[in-house]
Amino acid sequence: MTTTIDYYELLECERGADDATIKSSYRKLAMKYHPDRNSGCKDSEAKFKAVSEAYDVLKDPQKRAAYDRYGHAAFQGQGGGGGPQDFSGFSDIFESVFGEFMGGGGGRGRAQPRRGADLRYDMEITLEDAFHGKSTEITVDVSAQCDTCEGSGAKPGTSVRTCQTCAGHGKVRAQQGFFVVERACPVCQGSGQVIADPCSDCRGDGRVEKTKTLTVNVPAGVDEGTRVRLSGEGEAGPRGAPAGDLYIFLHVARHSLFEREGTTLFARAPISFTTAALGGSLTIPGLDGRAHEIRIPAGIQSGKQLRQRGAGMPVLQGRGSGDLVVQIEVETPTKLSPRQKELLQAFRETETGDECPDSQGFFAKLKQAIGG
């Protein structure tokens, strides 16, 4: 392979090109000259290796600075500019060019510990609990760190060793033509470590099943579906890896008096028709422990809503509270004494129609509709 051709010329880039331009040009040329796309053409394979060698130098800031200053002489005695002899076949070339499209990030670090799974716990609370907040305890069965081996998975007095098959990477590679297939290491199962003498209690997993009692603090103002996160209280990771989180999903039970929409509380209040006609008041016991007096204006109709400011639900992690809305339902009496019937009959005999203008207007329209 010729090593005297200018690397920028090989990549068809200006000497001052930025990293993105160099990378883009390399990808295009690598696809153009790849041997699989050129039926084994020797010239294409040589060109492919040349542009790969050029990119290996220019993508590295230190190598590029040395090349810009000294040219190819900067790498004499080092096997060229980090050319094909520095790669495992074409595997590293493909990883650096197409790794981000294949789910990789370029380079092979050691296997990272696998975090434990997050867990879910459903808890029902009352509307009063949601109003005031509460602290309660729950019991969960969960995979926790083994106390005997402190999560390492190895028998006390022994240690975990780096897997020799994958050198701690957790993956092994197999060359198939110009492509490289990467799989989890069959010896360490992808962990990058092996245990010669596993812990007898957890059998090398570093985790055991435990029943844990946890304290859950429910803040005031929570609503249906609110989540409370207990960090690190989920499933323990294998062999000392970080634990996941436990999510508490809150469900608010139905209340006998109130319904809720956000921070607003709704209550339905049936009143007598005499109270509706003459006016009055009613008292609603609030979730805040206070008695809220609702003034009823004379002549109120069914469906009318009366609002009590600040008597609703507290704002979650904020200041203030919503409102209490009382919807009036005028109830028609069904059991009347003879005296009450007598009084109502006397009242009806004095009616002029002006007492109920909506009714009067309705019947006037009805008469018009049927021709007088």
Pairing of strands 119-125, 246-252: parallel
Exposed (0-12), middle (13-18) or buried (19+): which is 77, by Cβ within 10 Å?
A: exposed
Neighbours of 25 (CB within 10 A): 20
- Angle at which helices 42-58 and 19-33 cross, to 10°: 160
Residue whose pair of structure tokens reads 């704002």 in the numeric block: 315
Cβ contact 202:148 at 8 Å: yes
Q: Binding site for Zn(2+): which residues?
A: 146, 149, 163, 166, 185, 188, 199, 202
The stretches of 315-356 forming alpha helices (DSSP H) are 338-349
Q: Binding site: which residues?
A: 146, 149, 163, 166, 185, 188, 199, 202
Grouping H, G, I as helix, E, B as strand and the rest as coil, residue 6 is coil
Rounded Cα gap, residues 133 and 142, in angstroms: 26
**∠ CA(54), CA(55), CA(56), 5° rounding?**
90
Q: Any idea what DSSP says for residue 37?
A: G
How many Cα neighbours within 13 Å face the side chain of 129? 17
